[in-house]
Amino acid sequence: MTVVERFLKYVTYNTQSDETTGTTPSTSGQRVFAEALVDELKEIGLTDISLDGNGYLMATLPANTDKPLPTVGFIAHLDTSPDMSGKDVQPRIVSYQGGDIVLNETENILLSPAQFPELADYVGQDIIVTNGKTLLGADDKAGVASIIAAMDYLKAHPEVEHGRIRIAFTPDEEIGQGADHFDVAKFAADFAYTIDGGQVGELEFENFNAAAAKIHFKGLNVHPGYAKNKMLNAAELAAEFAQWLPAEQRPEHTEGYEGFFHLINMNGTVESATLSYIIRDHDRNLFEQKKALLQTLVGTMNAKHPQSTTLEIRDQYYNMREVVEPRMEIIDLAKRAMEDAGVQPLVRPIRGGTDGARLSFMGLPCPNLFAGGLNFHGRFEFLPIPSLEKAMLTIINIAKNINK
């Protein structure tokens, strides 16, 4: 089975995660997919295959040399984003010659270079698209397919010398829980790569420091006809508070290494209101300053309206650069593997998070490599087939280039 055939098969599994269930994996479809992958890994001939109660699948490709080589790991996630339906995905291969691609004629849904100019980079290539009603699932089934196809290739080509290789497929990455129950000791790799990036060539070992914050406002409800000097409207306090944060530090005004405050949810009545934010910054000092600003503003609101406002804040993950930078040979290995595959490495910071960040701080240095897809999490997601094939080849090259 080719890497493309694997991908087209994998996207038929509905594996959307769901942060409301309180289970791991958060949805049964992820377990169904993992169980199907167990059978494939057995067919390929991998060993030490394990699928634990939380839906974490691990396996080993044994070394085919007596050289004392380090153990490398490759990791991808089973789930797709809850942002859009992943049920009944109907992928289609298009030979792209430029212009608009009609995803859904009935509903006039177009994948257009006018809206997505990056399409122009793939003229002359076969690309996989959706029918306009679901996401595609290249995030991260392209990663799953490229890893398994690479293991199949290495198993079938013993002349390619390599050390011990560990692979893992994790649940619930899209809801920030992909590393929650990852057993680093059991995985037993010296370093690893998540295959969870986008555009061909992406190589990422810097990500945001991340926190989540909730600000709660307590009001006092009085009949509005008799409310003068009595009512305290919690919803109004929330609206006022949101305006105190710097507008230039919203996501829509930031790029590159610039951090942000992102208001992701707001709800409220006169009696009670809540603002939910995520806080992001690559720089640890600026990250801490952002959290401190929230504390200061809560104090300001309480000075105006005593005991009206409380803050809950929790760190989610940190910039993996702190862990990976002392091990730059891992990055150099990935760069060489890409170059050997005819890919120009694109080293850039992740304006988001990755399981690799948390795993790095759990003792497993784990930068992120491209899987090839673009426009993740929506109906306009697409996957150039040459990019998927290059992802597979990069994995093979990493395995055979270790310590060369």
Catalytic (active-site) positions: 79, 173
Residues with Cβ < 8 Å from 310, sequence gap 6 or more? 215, 216, 218, 298
Q: Which residue has the tokens 């673009």?
A: 374
Q: State how far the Cα of 233 lies from the Cα of 201, in Å rounded to an integer.
A: 51
Q: State how far the Cα of 351 lies from the Cα of 368, in Å rounded to an integer.
A: 12
Q: How many helices (H) and strands (E) does the chain have?
A: 10, 17
Residues with Cβ < 8 Å from 117, sequence gap 6 or more? none
* Exposed / middle / buried, residue 126 (Cβ in 10 Å: 0-12, 13-18, 19+): middle
Q: What's the number of CA atoms in the CB half-sphere (13 Å) around residue 249?
A: 18
Give the residues across from 77 on adjacent strands.
Answer: 170
* CB-based contact 164:63 (threshold 8 Å): yes
Note the Cα 195 to chain centre separation in Å. Answer: 10
Note the Cα 401 to chain centre separation in Å. Answer: 27
